[in-house]
Amino acid sequence: MNLNRKKSRIIIIGANFAGLTAAGKLSKCHEVTVIDSKQDFQWTPNIHEILSDVKKETSLSLNLETIISRLGHCFINQTVSSIDGNLQTVTLNDKQTLNYDVLLIASGHTRSNYGIEGANKYAYGFRTADDVIKIHNDIEAILNTNKHPVNINIIGGGFTGVEVLGELLRKYATNKQMNFKVIDSAARLVQALPEKLSDDILSQCKNHQVSFHFNQTITEVKKSSIHFSNTESIESDLTIWSAGTKLPDYLNSINTQGLSNGLAVNTCLQISGFDNIFVAGDSATLEKPLAKQASIALDMGLHAAININRFCSQKTLKPLEVRTKPVLLSLGDINTYFIQGKLVLASPVLAAAKEAVYQFYMARLSTLLPIEQSVLGIAGRITLSTEKLLLAEILKLRPRVLLGRSKLL
Ligand SMILES: Cc1cc2nc3c(=O)[nH]c(=O)nc-3n(C[C@H](O)[C@H](O)[C@H](O)COP(=O)(O)OP(=O)(O)OC[C@H]3O[C@@H](n4cnc5c(N)ncnc54)[C@H](O)[C@@H]3O)c2cc1C
């Protein structure tokens, strides 16, 4: 690092949970440039709700240019194509090359197709609000053709796959035209979480038009079908890919350990060999790996910024205190689950807690916008949530159903 410079040149790649939190904490004494391929911050944990019209893209997004310039930093709306750790440069898709003294990688994960033929071309991704809007509109278009049945298949029964299924059931549970399948290579749902959670989700779905297909190896996805290693195949009018994620390819040059799950970092969030490159959020893997979770990405972003400020003023870095966090998983309007370690609590009432987390953080982040935009945004989100979620749920609420679904698993 060039210590003769008055201002350190800091580049942040990715401005969502980890990157934007770091940008908010980095001192204005530095020359901070934030790069993201998207124009907006996006609250990904609720994008699945676009499927059931409970959320709109605008209620999940905040403009990055406005926020970052109000933080006193520079925003570049571009995609990074490569990094050179030795030359300390970042190259963008438009061939522009930027020099840095300190780099923070906070570019999350991208979709992994595991090399399955046709997956990238024919299966719809589920990573951004744009992906979800496309699925929403294409399902409606298929329904308008009066096809019967409409086969919607979800590949991947992990956290995202379950939340997608829940929203589709919220919207189409009474539509007998619809036929859903969840397919996974594992023996059950949500493999990273307790088995009793999988059991409860399966039992809650018993009376719905959905079937689950475990221990399945997919060999090919075609436009209208999915093919398995046992030579069987099923029809598919729309295939949703929620099967896996990996590090973006542009990081290959510095991924010396070749992990697909994240760049290996020490507890101060630096990668080995380059002490001026920090990593936070889903892109990072500690020796004791943390869950790929928004709340953990927020903590890591904050910690990376604290350490970058200290690094620039040549102070000793602080190790990240590793803590697990609870997660809230929603199964549409059927149930919501609070999971902390082995503890699993189920209740439709927990949907209000998940909504409160979203409302709280969006309101907090929007304080970085001009006051009128911030107030309008908060009012819009609360109105939409009251109309589409809270009132809708209260009107449907039957005490016996509520009590029956509220339990410690
Ligand atoms: C459908 C879905 C539901 C989820 N539900 C939950 C939940 O309920 N609870 C929970 O805690 N977590 C949930 N998660 C996980 C959570 O969203 C992630 O853990 C979190 O987003 C990670 O934050 P991050 O900042 O590390 O990365 P991200 O939020 O992925 O942000 C990465 C940013 O980097 C940018 N970027 C990527 N590559 C480049 C490049 N080459 N050049 C420039 N910019 C780039 C992207 O545009 C993006 O803005 C969910 C995720 C999904 C997809």
Architecture, CATH, for domain 119-241: 3-Layer(bba) Sandwich (3.50)
- 4 pLDDT more than 60: no
Cα–ligand 1 centroid distance for 294 (angstroms): 7
More confident residue, 404 or 52: 52
Mean of per-residue pLDDT scores for the chain: 92
Q: In what order do the strands lie in the sheet with 407-408?
A: 327-331, 335-340, 343-346, 407-408
Q: How many CB atoms lie within 10 A of CB 175?
A: 11
Cα–ligand 1 centroid distance for 286 (angstroms): 18
Q: What is the mean pLDDT of residues 348-367?
A: 87
Which residue has the CA at smallest separation from atom 4 of ligand 1? 45
Q: How far apart are the first and last CA of the chain?
A: 53
* φ, ψ for residue 285, nearest 5 deg: -130, 115
Residue with tokens 């930027």: 98
Fold of 9-37+78-109+247-312: FAD/NAD(P)-binding domain (3.50.50)
Q: How many CB atoms lie within 10 A of CB 84?
A: 12
Cα–ligand 1 centroid distance for 359 (angstroms): 18
Q: What is the mean pLDDT of residues 160-184?
A: 96
Using one digit for the tens of pLDDT, what is the confidence trace for 232-281?
Answer: 999 999 999 999 899 999 998 888 787 778 899 999 999 988 999 999 99
- 40 pLDDT more than 70: yes
pTM, rounded to two decimals:
0.93
Residue with tokens 């620039």: 312
Return the amino acid letter for 398: R
Q: 3-class DSSP state for residue 58?
A: helix
Question: According to CATH, where is 3.50.50.60 located in the chain?
Answer: 9-37+78-109+247-312, 119-241
Which residue has the CA at smallest separation from atom 27 of ligand 1? 108
Ligand 1 atom at shortest distance from the alpha carbon of 35: 43
Torsion of CA 131, 136, 142, 143, to 10 degrees: 170
Q: Is 185 in the pocket of ligand 1 (CB under 6 A)?
A: no
Cα–ligand 1 centroid distance for 109 (angstroms): 7
What is the token pair recorded at 17?
A: 């949970």
Q: How confident is the model at residue 172 (pLDDT cuts 50, 70, 90)?
A: very high
